[in-house]
């Protein structure tokens, strides 16, 4: 199972994508699906469900195409891949 550094990294991604302060609500931004997958990954992490955690991270990575800035998109995908690999 991933460590606390992974949880901190995931929390940082959620905040950066625009999810800070929106727990339990769907974002109205174009990043809503990405945020949903990131939050699901966080819940799975905290619930000690490694399969669901990795699956949600993979879905988040696929959803990162909604990020219009290509440099940011590549960075988010790289960070998600690092989390998947842990």
Give me the residue spans of the domains in the chain.
4-85
In a 10 Å sphere around its CB, with 0-12 CB exposed, 13-18 middle and 19+ buried, how is residue 58 labelled?
A: middle
| 1-11 pLDDT tens trace | 457 899 999 99
Q: What's the rounded Cα separation, in Å, for the pair 38 and 56?
A: 7
Q: What's the rounded Cα separation, in Å, for the pair 24 and 35?
A: 10
In this prediction, residue 61 carries a pLDDT of 96
Q: What's the rounded Cα separation, in Å, for the pair 75 and 40?
A: 20
Dmax over CA atoms of the chain, in Å, equals: 33
What's the whole-model pTM score?
0.82
Q: What is the pLDDT of the chain when averaged over all its residues?
A: 85
Cα–chain center distance at 1: 16
Quick one: tokens of 19?
A: 């999810």
């Amino acid at each position: 199972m991933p460590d606390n550094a992974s949880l901190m990294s995931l929390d940082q991604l959620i905040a950066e994508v625009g999810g800070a302060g929106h727990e339990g609500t769907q974002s109205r931004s174009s990043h809503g699906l990405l945020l949903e997958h990131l939050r699901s990954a966080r819940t799975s992490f905290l619930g000690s469900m490694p399969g669901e955690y990795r699956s949600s991270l993979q879905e988040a990575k696929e959803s990162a195409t909604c990020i219009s800035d290509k440099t940011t998109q590549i960075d988010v995908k790289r960070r998600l891949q690092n989390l998947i690999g842990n």
